[in-house]
Structure 1
């Protein structure tokens, strides 16, 4: 069937929460996908930072097939070698201290929900529970009720209020505001802080990195206050920025050790899985027996997919590839000579091309027509989050698009003040 025919069936059968699909894809290989009409696309979005190894990677597909042929699901009444092995691997990659533990989920939103519940277990100085949780303006942590309370965008929040209370959103990257939130006056007026939940790079806000030193200050303030530092690495983790976790880069984290890290997206290479890493015995025991759970979390097939994904990243030296090809992609786009390109920001293979005009939606549409999948993440920003296997030649192909090879003249010449019909499609 054609893309048009499949799209019509989609509109008649699938709930209209995302709008109609831009294309209907039927297969993939490496960094490429094909639609139902047979057209090939270079996937520079990887399912929004999900398909770490690209599409149909032989090691990943073999691991999933072998595990499913042996043991598919057992419930959380039982353990499996893949679940245990994955937890041990994540603790090793996180360089987590003794007593650390992992809780498995099915998605990033669920990982945030588990972390949110952990914040409710932080005791107040005089007894009781702290309920004051800090997040940042521009934050996106998910769409379930707890995750939505931490998410900043009013359009996502307002239709579902009242949300879980106690969340305060601080100005992004503002160290003075962060210090003020922990001040004696603030504590006297609003209570003790239970946790600060923050993304090292804000993905949905346009790939905005926190300023240098911010996380180091956050670590000091939360430690002094007895609060948790929760890092949302759902989009930035699993090698996406060139290290296993973004906070591990000295210029990002400054050598800190967080209390909680949430993961998902790239962890399963395309298979749904999320995780919460709790650092140290005290944090790892905040949720006791019966206080949280999930039917499918740590499913042996999902765990096998994650183990295979992490194994290939290590075996094939993909962290180095992310750093080298990411630097090349950034450099080639910055030097492409396009009047549309203002700058490229981000780390590794999580980048945003900031445009000189608010025409990101038109540029993304032109890219799709030219055979490139990108994302208009903001009116003036295009997000790139390709598979970690992206090659130098593929990066140069992407840069040639931005140089104007495939950008229609009407987009390039559009006045800066012209409105942009932006896509609001985002996936949890």
Structure 2
């Protein structure tokens, strides 16, 4: 605590107060990563210019980012400067400590995961898939061990590696485009038909062009501001888990003479409706209809992978172990631990057979540093970690539901699958996004959290989270609601 106090005394007016000192002391006694984070922050603090550190925190935030275009709204920028992080803990330039449940779902290993950073930091030969590497075989072996581990074998025949999750969806949809050309070309089963894409309402699949076309959660902004998006009419949307609507979509395609190129599904929605899991009967019907119509089924596990049920792939979800695998499935985020840009696309034999040399390329594809990062992540998945993801997820949802009962009329919906959880707030009295609204208040008082859904707080904590940490998150959420309603 003395180190934090020295940092506070050597800094300007804080905007983020962070966790109370008594809470910090309690967790220091049980979690060494918090002590590490504070010690590292103190060591770094003295390296920064004093004239910067003595600025008011809100001024420093603006000063440090003044040369950048931020993709996101100003009100959603964190009101602090993070200078150290270990496990779930962040320490700021002005001596505050936060428990991080944000990180856009990529920090399953927490901040500063030692084994992963060590694997990544070795002197790897930096070359792409054009240069054979033992890391290629190590990664493939690790993937095949994880994918299908509940069913005895891996259902994917080939893999492609890219940088971002969005890019893996881009490649998946490009392979679907090849199938479309075959299906709608001369002599094809759907010869001459126009092509449409099928996705789930409120879905998010990335921001590169074709994934953005099927991301309903962002469609309003795209249609309003982008010429090419506003002129498109190629997207069919169905509500999640509505089997009848899914059947109607394919029936309408048959009736009106167009081909559904692909259906994309998040097994657990990560942004538009965080925590919602697909039902087995809905998945099975999507698989049946895509098979029957010559369409491709894409499962987007970029946010749900590992986090959703402690397994990387939907094929290992509880109740899905005997389901037919999708044609394509994408993974990123937790797979790279938020430490090195990597995404992976798994392809079944049909999808792998559709790839044509020349339709895609990537400078960094399958480089050893990225692969060794992912291997280190996969090697850290234990039965105990899988169970913790599931158990703490149930505990999280139960305690949020209890909070909703404790504070009636404030929380309208709680849902979660594993450690991808959300609580929607009553918009007439609680606004999540905005300057000094709920999201920012939580951050200023020690809870790193990100908005999602319509008006929801989205929680994506590290996979080793404890019950004591869950209680901490619930308590700050409680305080934030009371602050705005009492």
- Per the TM alignment, residue 346 of structure 1 is displaced from its structure 2 partner at its CA by 1.7
Q: Give 1:120's aligned residue.
A: 177
Give the conservation status (yes or no) of the 8 Å contact 2:147–2:155: no
| Counterparts of residues 117-196 of structure 1 (less than 5 Å) | 117-122=174-179, 123-124=182-183, 126-127=187-188, 131-152=195-216, 153-158=218-223, 159-163=225-229, 166-183=234-251, 186-196=253-263
Using a 3 Å threshold, how does the CA distance of structure 1 residues 8 and 98 change in structure 2: closer, same or farther? closer
Structure 2 unpaired stretches of 5+: 1-51
Q: Secondary structure at the match of 1:313?
A: coil
Using a 3 Å threshold, how does the CA distance of structure 1 residues 99 and 311 change in structure 2: closer, same or farther? closer
Q: Write out per-residue CA displacement over residues 375-410 of structure 1, whole angstroms, 9 at most, x where no aligned residue.
A: 1213431111111121221111112223x3x32644
Q: Give 1:75's aligned residue.
A: 128
- Per the TM alignment, residue 327 of structure 1 is displaced from its structure 2 partner at its CA by 1.5
Q: 1:323 aligns with which of 390, 405, 411?
A: 390
- Number of aligned positions between the proteins: 404
Q: Which has the higher helix share?
A: 2
Q: Give 1:352's aligned residue.
A: 422
Q: Secondary structure at the match of 1:360?
A: coil
Give the conservation status (yes or no) of the 8 Å contact 1:244–1:319: no
- Per the TM alignment, residue 167 of structure 1 is displaced from its structure 2 partner at its CA by 3.3
Normalised to the residue count of structure 1, the TM-score between the two structures is 0.87
Q: 2:113 aligns with which of 53, 57, 66?
A: 57
Using a 3 Å threshold, how does the CA distance of structure 1 residues 189 and 224 change in structure 2: closer, same or farther? same
Deviates more, 1:323-332 or 1:304-313: 323-332
Give the conservation status (yes or no) of the 8 Å contact 1:136–1:172: yes
Deviates more, 1:120-129 or 1:228-237: 120-129
Q: Secondary structure at the match of 2:183?
A: coil
Give the conservation status (yes or no) of the 8 Å contact 1:359–1:379: no
Q: Greater Rg, structure 1 or structure 2? A: 2
- Per the TM alignment, residue 203 of structure 1 is displaced from its structure 2 partner at its CA by 1.5
Normalised to the residue count of structure 2, the TM-score between the two structures is 0.77
Q: Secondary structure at the match of 1:302?
A: helix
Q: 1:205 aligns with which of 260, 272, 275?
A: 272
Structure 1 unpaired stretches of 5+: 414-428
Q: What is the distance in 2 between the residues matched to 1:49 and 1:7? A: 23
